[in-house]
Amino acid sequence: MKNLLLSTVMAAGFASFATAGMAGAIAEEAPVSAAAPVAPAASVDWSGFYAGGLVSFDSGTSESYLNNVLVNSPNLEAVTAFGAFVGYNKQVNALVFGGEIAYTTGDIAIVGFSGNDYTDRIDLKARAGYSMGRAMVYGVVGYSFADFVATSGDIHPSTGLNYGAGVDFMVTDRIFVGAEYLMRNLSGTGTLNPQNRIDANLSSVSIRVGMNF
pLDDT digits (tens, 9 = 90+) for 128-183: 999 999 999 999 999 999 999 999 889 999 999 999 999 999 999 999 999 999 99
Domain presence at residue 199: yes
Output the pLDDT for position 87. 98
Cα–Cα distance, 136 to 144 (Å, whole number): 24
Domain presence at residue 15: no
Domain presence at residue 89: yes
Domain presence at residue 43: no
Total of domains in the chain:
1
| Full domain range(s) for residue 204 | 48-212
User: Using one digit for the tens of pLDDT, what is the confidence trace for 9-29?
Assistant: 344 444 443 444 444 444 445
Domain presence at residue 113: yes
Cα–Cα distance, 183 to 142 (Å, whole number): 10
Contacts of 39 by beta carbon, 8 Å cutoff, 6+ apart: none
Q: What number of other Cβ atoms are within 10 A of residue 95's Cβ? A: 12
CATH number for 102: 2.40.160.20
User: Using one digit for the tens of pLDDT, what is the confidence trace for 31-84?
Assistant: 554 544 443 344 789 999 999 999 999 999 999 999 989 999 999 999 999 999
What is the per-residue DSSP string for 162-179? EEEEEEEEESSSSEEEEE
pTM metric for this prediction: 0.78
Contact 120, 105 (CB under 8 A): yes
Output the pLDDT for position 31. 52
Domain presence at residue 112: yes
Domain presence at residue 71: yes
Cα–Cα distance, 120 to 184 (Å, whole number): 13
Domain presence at residue 18: no
Contacts of 206 by beta carbon, 8 Å cutoff, 6+ apart: 54, 55, 56, 57, 83, 104, 179, 180, 182
